[in-house]
Each structure stands twice: as C-alpha cells, then as structure tokens.
Structure 1
C-alpha cells in the first residue's frame, strides 16, 4: 500500500504510543500483522538469533511474511546465506537493502523468489545490540516505488529507527514481565510436525504427509525443540503435549 504522503513522523508518536499499552507479545504481533501500509511499511520482521552466550535467550522470530514464503525460505536454507542477516549482524547502523539485492548468485536468486511470493525487495534492516553482545535484527519492507522508497527512507530514517527501538523495547519489557517464561508460540507448521511425531511418524513420513522436504521437516522440528527448550524431539513432543499445544488424540 502506498503511504499517500503520510509523514513517517507519525510512526514515533501514534504507533510508538500503542507499544506502551500492549500487555502481551501476541498483541504486538497482531498489531504488526494488522498492516502498516499507511506508514510506507508492507512487512516487518523481528529476529533474534539463538544466543551463543551462556544464559542468553533461545531466539525469537516475529514476522508478517506469509507462511508460504516462510516455508520456502527455510526449505531453501536461506537463513544461512541471507545477506540481510549477514550484513545486519556486522553493522551498527541501518542498512538499505538496495546495497544487497543486486549481488549475484544465491542473493539474487533469493530476492527474485521473494518477489514471486509478494515480498518486496525494498527495505531496511536495523540492528539492535544488547549488553551481552546479543543482536536483534528488525527489518521493514515497503511497496513504494524504487526512487520513491529511496527518498522516503532518506527523509525519515530516524523515524524508522525510533519505531525499531520502540518495538524492541516493548518486546523486551513484555518478555521480562513474564520472567522470560512466556508460553512458547509455535507456528502452525511447528505444531504439525510435533503432532505427527506424537503419532509416531518419522520425519520422512511427515514430509510425505505435509508435501514438504524431509530437510524442511527437520528444520521445523529443530525450531520447535529450541522454542520449547527441549533436549530432543521426544522431549519437545512431551512438553508440547503437557502445554496443550498438540493433542494426544489421533481423531
């Protein structure tokens, strides 16, 4: 959606004010999913890799991208070669995707396929760094035209940074208020692979049922294990059953 000349400064007032009133991470996620097109934003992704620091977090992903694109992205293992993640982790400043998307090879292929799934190749990634060295990457894409997006981002980059700070602060605050023990939020696919595992299906059998690759199934299982802070797939299934995230009833 076009921004229709709506000033991005509204991001740091109307939107930021809403963040202070949210009482759960679900409210934050739902708000992002409700659409920010009037502010020149088509999609938002909040990504914290699993921490390698002792005592660090298990990682977090909140995104408004379609489930189809998420499935394809992980099936192609783009998380291991995404230049947005690579450059974001190395930088302290916002990065305009325009310096990334024209690379050759896997990068060009990834951005091309993203467009086929309705994901814009115009965006900005804003790195957030914690006191233990942990990094959170907040990406925002736009459906504005190429030259229009460049001018818009140039004029209002500080407002996008303010938005990212408010989003990050809200998520950290809500996580702290729950003692870091918020009930894990598994995606539909993560629940499905654990559900079939609970029924005794192997990764290969689950792949046949869901019409995905076995590698993709293993990726979803790994993410579910991490989110549930489990040690094995079987442990994750047990925890998911105890939390009511999946059912023991085959019917």
Structure 2
C-alpha cells in the first residue's frame, strides 16, 4: 500500500500553496480540499462514499462538499442518483476519470438527461474529474472536483489522484478515531436513529429535528462508525438490540 503521508506535506500545489502538516480535525480537511479546489481552478469539490445499488439519495453518501444545499435537495428530489452514469462508473472502476455534464448525461436511460444537465450547469459544475479512493480498511469513496475550467492535464490528474487518496485516508482516520467502536452515542445520534428506525427519510428527520439534512447524515454516519456497522440498516438493528432505541 502506498504511504501517502511521507511526501504529501512537502508537495507544492499550483500558486505555491502547500499542504499543512497538521490535519487532525475535519475542519482542517475541509480547508485543504478548498485549497486544492481553488489551486487547480475548480469551483466545487465533493467527498463521498460510493453508494450501493439500493441507495437513492446522493445526500446520504456525501461526507464533505461545498456544493450548495439547494443543488443537493434538487438532485435528490428529482431522483437523479439511480440513473447517474458517473455513479455507475465509480461502482465499476477504480481509475480516475474526467466528466462532462452535457456529454455524460446522454448515457442516462431514465429520460432525465435535460434535468441533470440543467442542474449541473446552474450549479456551475459542467466538467471536472472524479477520483476513486479508499481507506486502509477498503472503504470505497470518491473525490470529485468540478467547475467550468478546461479538462485537466495528465500531470494534474496524477497530482489530484495523489492528493485525494491522502486526504480521504486522513478523513477516514479522523472519523474512525472520533467514532471508534464502544464510544457512547450522543443524544442527537440516538434521536436520528430513532426516527430512521421509524422509517423516516433524511428530509423528514431534518424537518422533525429542525436540523439540516447534512447534519442528520453526519449524526447517522457517526453512529454507524461507533456501532462498527457497514450501513444504516445494520446500525439501526444493532441499536435496537442494544436497547439504545425502541
């Protein structure tokens, strides 16, 4: 396995930006992803777990992003995930690739080509790259950078792949330490699990708890890590067996 940490802190980004050696909190990673995005001329970034076939909402897979909440709500409301050629590509391949919203969405077989193109063009994410990544436990994710700039060069793709792999690994490591097995669930985590067990969607839970959908997903993700589960269904089952929710 590659040791990304050995050289990444000395890697200079375009415009002389350097990666900080102190990446111990999620906010540190959020700042660095933003630096990388800007240094390479992109307008948006997305860090996500690769969704399974039964996942219907993009918001449930997002770990970190600067995409607008309005865009994500619109995307999920239009049920765009299941027919996404980008998501299908991420499920099948571990090779970084470029995307073009207008060209790639021609491959959709759900008749939502125009809707998808309109959403991405309105958000200013018309082209970019997606980089499959994984952590030391084999958890599959992806880092995407998008905007209006021209396609990246092979050198830029190599650099972005290196950086994305390292940063995703650090993000998973931080999350693992924060949500290690055996750590107690917070009140909010238990509340979110309670409503998830009752069959509520993320949108419904956000409305009930007066939280953002991002925050609800954050609490559920932390609960999943703490209970050493692989998905939300298993997390709910473990919480029920442990008497944490009823």
TM-score where L is the length of structure 2: 0.60
- 1:36-55 to 2 correspondences below 5 Å: 36-49=37-50
**CA spacing shift, 1:61–1:221, aligned 2, 3 Å:** closer
Structure having greater relative contact order (Cα 8 Å, sep ≥ 6): 1
Cα deviation for residue 35 of structure 1 reads 7.7
Cα deviation for residue 106 of structure 1 reads 2.5
Supply the distance in 2 between the matched residues of 1:227 and 1:92 (Cα, whole angstroms).
26
Give the match for residue 171 of structure 1: 171
Supply the distance in 2 between the matched residues of 1:160 and 1:35 (Cα, whole angstroms).
8
* Paired residues of 2:50 and 2:90 also in contact (CA < 8 A): no
SS at match of 2:236: coil
**Which consecutive aligned stretches of 4+ in structure 1 deviate over 6 angstroms post-superposition?**
181-185, 219-223
Name the count of aligned residue pairs.
202
Supply the distance in 2 between the matched residues of 1:14 and 1:102 (Cα, whole angstroms).
37
Residues 34-83 of structure 1: CA distance to partner in whole angstroms, max 9, x if unpaired?
A: 7832421211111114689xxxxx96621110111111122223232222
**CA spacing shift, 1:68–1:34, aligned 2, 3 Å:** farther
Give the match for residue 79 of structure 2: 77
Cα deviation for residue 138 of structure 1 reads 0.8
TM-score where L is the length of structure 1: 0.59
SS at match of 2:168: helix
- 1:150-169 to 2 correspondences below 5 Å: 150=151, 152-169=152-169
**CA spacing shift, 1:25–1:142, aligned 2, 3 Å:** same
Supply the distance in 2 between the matched residues of 1:72 and 1:65 (Cα, whole angstroms).
12
Supply the distance in 1 between the matched residues of 2:185 and 2:32 (Cα, whole angstroms).
19
**CA spacing shift, 1:60–1:22, aligned 2, 3 Å:** same
Matched, 1:22 2:23: yes
- 1:1-251 to 2 correspondences below 5 Å: 10=13, 14-15=17-18, 17-18=19-20, 20-33=21-34, 36-49=37-50, 61-98=63-100, 100-104=104-108, 105-116=111-122, 118-130=123-135, 133-144=138-149, 149-150=150-151, 152-178=152-178, 180=180, 225=220, 227-229=222-224, 231=236
Unpaired runs of at least 5, structure 1 = 1-7, 53-57, 211-216, 240-251
Give the match for residue 248 of structure 1: none
* Paired residues of 2:48 and 2:142 also in contact (CA < 8 A): yes
**CA spacing shift, 1:97–1:169, aligned 2, 3 Å:** same
Superposition RMSD on alpha carbons, in Å?
Answer: 4.7
* Paired residues of 1:95 and 1:125 also in contact (CA < 8 A): yes
